[in-house]
Amino acid sequence: MRNKLVIVFVLCALSLCTSLVAQELLNWPIDTVKGEEVYRYKVEKSIGLYRVGVNFNVTQADIIRLNPQLNERGLHYGEIILIPTGRPVVKPSKVEQPKAEEPKKVEEPKKVEEPKVEEVQIVRSDTVILPPDCVIEVSDTIIALPDTSTDNRELIELALMLPFESKHTKRSNNADRMLEFYQGVLLALKDMQNDSVRFRLRVYDTERSERRVIALCDSTELDNVKGVLGLVYPIQIERMATWCADRRVPLILPFSSDDRMEDKPYVLQFNSNDQQQADSLCAWIEQRDVHCVAVEVREADMTNYARTMRKRMQAHRIRYSAMPLRDLINDTADYVLDREKENIILLHSDRYQHIRMLIPHLEKLQSDGYRIRIISQYSWLKEELDIPQVYTSLFTSEASRDDYESQWGTYFNTEHVSVTPRYDLLGYDLTQTLVAWLRGEKEHKGVQSNIRWEQAGEGGWQNCGIKVQVEK
């Protein structure tokens, strides 16, 4: 009898739990997508695809069918995904049919157009305002900039490949930077087209997918492309670099800083690589009678540049004292400092929180009579950092930005919100640099950067126009 009571109790508990779960699921918004009733579920913390399927009593394949982007990257906390309810759509069809009966011919084209409009809105997300003549869908798009002149001009076809995250319901801040870069590209092409040349731009959302790049390289889509701009992830760069070498097409990398350029003869890298920056800083130190102190951080927080810097200091035979970060934070750093010389503190981290953490302790040491200068790899000089010193890569140009800002406002019909760094300026300069390269020019004076290409042995090309600057 007792066993029967236990079984009854367990069954009741399971029934109650099931009803509670079902009740909880019903609280998620319900919508109809392509004739199927779905939940709009906001992904919670620490939950995987398997657990979502169990909670909603659906298979993982059904979830991926409605959310194909999950195949590439998995679930992201806070994003909205679609989950089938498993119920037939009854009520919506009964409500919509009376409205649709009279204007049948009008409704049919609307059903065809709606998905395209939705996709463009997701891509744009009101972040980038493009000129009215260019209705652009970021994924797999060809853009012929509007013109009123004749068609017998030289046509230069370019490709832009960046992770715009157009398929993501909620994009990252990195995607917004890519779109800002894209704005600069459009403005550059608009400024360069004239009576003798016109441009066609192929725009591809590469996401993080190597397969995406491989598919493009194996297709005929890029056959007429004269130059490629973009790509971020090393595995994509390797594949596209091979394609460009086979066809002798230049590939400009805006963001990467690869030290191995020997096997990439048609790659042009904008950023200084780690060894360039380390050698520049070592040369600056060698010219001064200073005492060097290297602040060591956890290996996980140490950048590749910091590791290169240690090697280059040894190669330059620069003597330095090593000090753990905790000693500086615990105000026990005076054992390694020199009161007679200026103390150069090298922070082997580019994390902004580390820099901010050290400020009060450095100020205390300065008040105690030590001459302190902190040097950290921080990439943009015009970032407002309240620290005694910062080692930066300085993008210099004698050109005025006033004309650029005026054109930007006219072209996009809005005022640019000034944020450092300006990725639109980078896109503008590198697009013009790519066209200049196609004309045989190895140097270009831009709005933000003076770019000068030098070949790394018999391999790719490195920009040597970026000046490494320590003095503010």
Answer whether 82's CB lies under 8 Å from 40's CB: yes
The yes-or-no verdict on residue 269 having pLDDT over 90 is: yes
Q: What is the mean pLDDT of residues 381-400?
A: 56
Q: 149: pLDDT confidence band, cut at 50, 70 and 90?
A: low
The stretch 362-373 carries a mean pLDDT of 86
Where residue 464 falls among pLDDT bands split at 50, 70, 90?
confident
Residues 126-146, mean pLDDT to the nearest whole number = 44
Q: 439 versus 148: which is more confidently predicted?
A: 439
- Fold for 20-102, please state it: Membrane-bound Lytic Murein Transglycosylase D; Chain A (3.10.350)
Distance of CA 407 to the CA centre of its chain: 25
How confident is the model at residue 263, as a pLDDT? 84
* Nearest-angstrom CA–CA distance, 329 and 325: 6
Under the banding of pLDDT at 50, 70 and 90, the label for residue 60 is confident
The rounded mean pLDDT for the chain is 75
Span 39-43, average pLDDT: 84
Q: How confident is the model at residue 51 (pLDDT cuts 50, 70, 90)?
A: confident
Residue 153 pLDDT greater than 50, yes or no: yes
116-120, 126-130, 142-146, 282-286: range with lowest mean pLDDT: 116-120
pLDDT at 190 over 50: yes
As a whole number of angstroms, the distance between CA 175 and CA 260 comes to 27
% of the chain beyond a pLDDT of 70: 71
CATH 3.90.25.10 fits 104-270+429-465, yes or no: no
What b-and-e string marks burial along 336-373, b requiring 16 or more CB atoms within 10 Å of the CB? bbeeeeebbbbbbbbeeebbeebeebbeebeeeebbbb
Q: Please tell me the predicted confidence (pLDDT) of residue 97.
A: 45
* pLDDT number for residue 344: 86
| Peptide bond before residue 421 is cis, with ω within 30 degrees of 0 | yes
For the segment 305-318, the average pLDDT, to the nearest whole number, is: 88
Residue 253: pLDDT over 60 = yes
The C-alpha angle 153, 158, 159, rounded to 5 degrees, equals 155
User: What pLDDT, on a 0 to 100 scale, did the predictor assign at position 145?
Assistant: 56
Residue 214, pLDDT score: 92
Q: Are domains 20-102 and 274-394 of this chain identical in fold?
A: no
CATH of domain 274-394: 3.40.50.2300
Report the run of H or E that residue 181 belongs to, with start and end. Answer: helix 173-192
pLDDT-derived band at 406 (thresholds 50, 70, 90) equals: confident
More confident residue, 145 or 311: 311
Can you give the pLDDT at residue 139?
Answer: 47
Output the pLDDT for position 133.
36
147: tokens are 């013109």
The confidence score (pLDDT) of residue 174 equals 80
What pLDDT is stored for residue 142 in this prediction?
54
Per-domain boundaries in the chain: 20-102, 104-270+429-465, 274-394
Q: Identify which has the larger pLDDT, 28 or 309.
A: 309
Q: What is the model's pLDDT at position 360?
A: 82
Least confident of 180-194, 195-209, 276-290, 405-419: 405-419
Q: What is the pLDDT of residue 15?
A: 45
How confident is the model over 420-427, as a mean pLDDT? 84
Residue 308 CB neighbour total at 10 angstroms: 18
pLDDT above 90 (res 441): yes
Q: What is the pLDDT of residue 431?
A: 97
Place of tokens 């020199």: 338
Indicate if the pLDDT at residue 159 is higher than 90: yes
- Flag whether the pTM goes above 0.85: no
Q: What is the mean pLDDT of the segment spanning 20-43?
A: 68
- Residue 308 to residue 347: CA distance in whole angstroms: 13
List beta partners, residue 467. 394
